[in-house]
């Protein structure tokens, strides 16, 4: 249960958020350290090109979609606790923007500040619209951006709206009953994602920044990854992975920001800056994921929220929110997160 409300946590979404964080980390490492993409005049590093097709633009859309969905869930919760839920949400987004401003000093390409701005400008006004209008707006914005401006942060408004619409249509609360629908989307998305990935791979690397190949392939890849992960989570092996990823997803803000510090601290030792040591990049990403998985798991044995999540919640509600778990609550956590849900 959400400690601050009566609505059960949706463990699939926590796990999917943790899954997206892992993929985003790979891309953030080469952006933070300014690794070389080229190995010669007009020749892209083969491993960088492969990693770009597998990771770049695939996990950021998942994270953005889940942000819009979580915004809707929190708005409903705020409406139950406050007579002015939009003010609560506005304060929450402003606090996120402050986190983003600070984080921007260390990672200029970070997403928190743009998320806060788009949330205030797009999500808050759109939350009062009919659900079909939100869905249509999300589809138009998401599909139109790759055709016009090429993707990147321009995809955020549309993906936010799609996440908001997903909750308005009851997707969040009925995920476990939609297995065959998710499977149908996965079966359709995989060949489309593969074809788009081939298109992206065959596009000259420099041209990817201005064309439609990368954003289209990224969106289709994100859809295939997300639906595939949701199906995989329904297996016994998938449950084990989910139990690792769920705590990371619950502490997404803390893990996203702390990963920047870990990358910057490790870079001088690994010599990633201005290099093409992509094997070392993958090793660093795996190490950070392992550290954050353990840290998140054990932190949430004792506390309700991650460190930054707790500060964020206190500012959101403008009061000191209890964070430390009681002894009785800790006993209940002997049951793994993913079991029995």
- Tell me how crowded residue 78 is: count the other CB atoms within 10 A of its CB: 20
Residue found by looking up tokens 């870990």 in the block:
262
pLDDT tens figures, 139-166: 999 998 887 777 788 899 999 999 999 9
- For the record, the structure tokens of 5 come out as 């409300």
End-to-end CA separation in angstroms for the chain: 11
At residue 311, φ and ψ (nearest 5 deg) are -60, -45
Buried/exposed 11-31: b ≥16 CB within 10 Å, e otherwise: bbbbbbbbbbbbbbbbbbbbe
Token pair for 162? 């799609």
Model confidence band, residue 107 (pLDDT cutoffs 50, 70, 90): very high
* pLDDT mean over 30-49: 86
Least confident range from 42-51, 199-208, 257-266: namely: 199-208
Rounded Cα–Cα distance for residues 323 and 33 (Å): 35
Residue 296 reports pLDDT greater than 90: yes
pLDDT, tens digit, for every residue of 312-339?
Answer: 999 999 999 999 988 888 877 754 444 4
As for how many domains the chain has, the answer is 1
For residue 338, tell me if it sits in a domain.
no
Q: What is the mean pLDDT of the chain?
A: 90
Question: In sequence order, what E strands does 233-312 have?
Answer: none
Task: Judge whether 223 lies within some domain.
Answer: yes
User: How do the residues of the chain divide into helix, strand and coil, expressed in percent and rounded to 5?
Assistant: 75, 0, 25
Task: Kindly state the percentage of the chain with pLDDT values over 90.
Answer: 72
Residue 5 placed within a domain: no
Using a 10 angstrom Cβ sphere, with 0-12 exposed, 13-18 middle and 19 or more buried, the burial of residue 253 is buried
Distances (CA, A) of 3 to 75, 132, 323: 16, 32, 9
CB atoms within 10 A of CB 318: 9
Rounded Cα–Cα distance for residues 12 and 317 (Å): 26
- The SS3 assignment for 38 reads strand
Domain range enclosing 24: 11-332
Note the pLDDT of residue 145: 85
Rounded Cα distance between 297 and 292, Å, is: 8
Model confidence pLDDT, tens digit, residues 78-90:
888 888 899 999 9
Distances 308 to 90, 97, 271 between C-alpha atoms, Å = 18, 13, 30
Residue 246 near residue 14 (C-beta atoms within 8 A): yes
6 lies in a domain? no
Domain annotation covers residue 339: no
User: Using 50, 70 and 90 to split pLDDT, how confident is the model at 232?
Assistant: very high
Beta strands in the chain (DSSP E): 38-40, 43-44
230 within domain boundaries = yes
Q: Would the pLDDT of 284 be above 70?
A: yes
Whether the CA torsion 120, 122, 123, 126 is positive or negative: it is positive
CA distance 180 to 157: 29
């Amino acid at each position: 249960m959400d400690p601050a409300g009566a609505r059960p946590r949706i463990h699939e979404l926590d796990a999917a958020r943790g899954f997206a964080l892992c993929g985003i980390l790979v891309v953030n490492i080469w952006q933070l350290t300014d690794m070389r993409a080229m190995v010669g005049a007009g020749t892209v590093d083969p491993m960088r090109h492969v990693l770009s097709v597998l990771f770049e633009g695939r996990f950021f859309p998942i994270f953005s979609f889940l942000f819009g969905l979580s915004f809707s869930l929190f708005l409903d919760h705020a409406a139950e606790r406050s007579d002015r839920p939009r003010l609560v949400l506005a304060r929450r987004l402003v606090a996120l923007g402050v986190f983003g401003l600070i984080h921007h000093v260390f990672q200029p390409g970070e997403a928190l500040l743009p998320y806060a701005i788009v949330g205030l400008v797009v999500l808050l006004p759109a939350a009062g619209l009919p659900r079909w209008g939100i869905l249509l707006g999300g589809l138009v914005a998401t599909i139109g951006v790759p055709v016009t401006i090429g993707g990147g942060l321009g995809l955020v408004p549309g993906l936010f709206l799609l996440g908001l619409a997903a909750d308005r249509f009851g997707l969040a609360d009925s995920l476990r009953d939609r297995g065959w629908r998710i499977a149908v989307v996965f079966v359709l998305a995989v060949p489309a994602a593969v074809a788009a990935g081939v298109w992206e791979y065959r596009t000259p690397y420099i041209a990817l920044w201005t064309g439609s190949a990368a954003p289209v392939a990224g969106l289709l890849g994100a859809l295939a990854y997300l639906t595939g992960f949701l199906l995989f989570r329904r297996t016994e092996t998938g449950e084990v992975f989910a139990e690792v990823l769920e705590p990371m997803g619950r502490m997404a803000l803390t893990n996203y920001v702390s990963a920047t510090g870990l990358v910057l601290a490790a870079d001088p030792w690994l010599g990633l800056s201005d290099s093409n040591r992509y094997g070392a990049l993958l090793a660093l990403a795996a190490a950070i994921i392992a550290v954050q998985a353990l840290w998140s798991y054990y932190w949430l044995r004792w506390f309700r929220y991650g460190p930054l999540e707790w500060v964020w919640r206190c500012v959101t509600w403008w009061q000191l929110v209890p964070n430390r778990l009681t002894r009785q609550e800790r006993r209940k956590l002997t049951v793994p997160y993913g079991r029995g849900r």
